[in-house]
């Protein structure tokens, strides 16, 4: 991939054009983006990976967000300056999509996908430094928000992810730094996990993009 040609991605010996370059503007083609995403998905997750027809609409919205198509995003109520909270039932493919889509814009600074339970385990081991580490200025996607255990360090309980989300909110307000996340939970359940204060901050931090609750488990 050349930074002069952000619409062309090279994987091995194969070039994947995602659209056409018109002057300094890339005119993206959704079908070409899907072709690349399926090919890259097979490289990342194995030959059984596929893009499901019923997921095309949600992938379309995510593609618009990642290529920063402000006009079309606004039609879907998506703010390109916020992060993404991708919600949906277990096994619908949320984590895979968030790991995959960042490869479509290799000229943008990538984010790390980190399971929330791993962050809590880190807190249990090293304490509040873990909150500092993940509340800092790096780019993260927090995976499986809301189902992680309560943190406990030297006998003190801590809602680790809730504290990190408050730090990420300050980072967003002060520096425009985005945070992404995935979750199986709905808004009420998230509020039960983190409280009203964190939930209200999450509304400002994230665009909520959700799979249909009846989406099948693709891991079966």
pLDDT tens-digit series, residues 81-100: 999 999 999 989 999 999 99
199, 208 in Cβ contact below 8 A?
no
Average pLDDT, the chain: 93
Tokens 């009846």, located at residue: 214
96, 45 in Cβ contact below 8 A?
yes
Residue range 19-69, pLDDT digits in tens: 998 888 889 999 999 999 999 999 999 999 999 999 999 999 999 999 999
Q: Which CATH class is domain 81-210?
A: alpha beta
**Burial (CB count within 10 angstroms: exposed 0-12, middle 13-18, buried 19+), residue 145:** buried
Q: Where are the domains of the chain?
A: 81-210
The 10 Å Cβ neighbour count of residue 83 is 23
pLDDT of residue 2: 45
Helix (H) / strand (E) element for 156: namely strand 156-158
90, 96 in Cβ contact below 8 A?
no
Q: What is the mean pLDDT of residues 112-117?
A: 97
pLDDT of residue 26: 86
């Amino acid at each position: 991939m050349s930074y002069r040609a952000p619409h062309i991605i090279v994987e091995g010996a194969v070039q994947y054009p995602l659209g056409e370059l018109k002057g300094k503007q890339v005119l993206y083609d959704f079908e070409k983006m899907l072709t690349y995403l399926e090919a890259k998905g097979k490289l990342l997750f194995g030959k059984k990976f596929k893009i499901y027809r019923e997921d095309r609409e949600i992938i379309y919205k995510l593609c618009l967000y990642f290529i920063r198509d402000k006009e079309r995003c606004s039609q879907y109520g998506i703010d390109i300056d916020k992060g993404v909270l991708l919600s949906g039932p277990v096994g619908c493919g949320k984590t895979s999509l968030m790991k995959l889509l960042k490869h479509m814009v290799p000229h943008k600074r990538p984010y790390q996908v980190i399971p929330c339970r791993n962050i809590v385990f880190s807190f249990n081991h090293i304490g509040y430094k873990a909150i500092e580490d993940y509340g800092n200025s790096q780019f993260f996607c927090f995976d499986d928000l809301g189902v992680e255990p309560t943190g406990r360090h030297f006998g003190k309980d801590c809602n680790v992810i809730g504290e990190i989300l408050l730090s990420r909110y300050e980072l967003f307000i002060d520096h425009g730094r985005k945070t992404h996340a995935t979750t199986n939970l709905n808004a009420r359940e998230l509020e039960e996990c983190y409280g009203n204060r964190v939930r209200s901050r999450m509304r400002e931090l994230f665009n909520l993009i959700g799979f249909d609750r009846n989406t099948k488990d693709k891991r079966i």
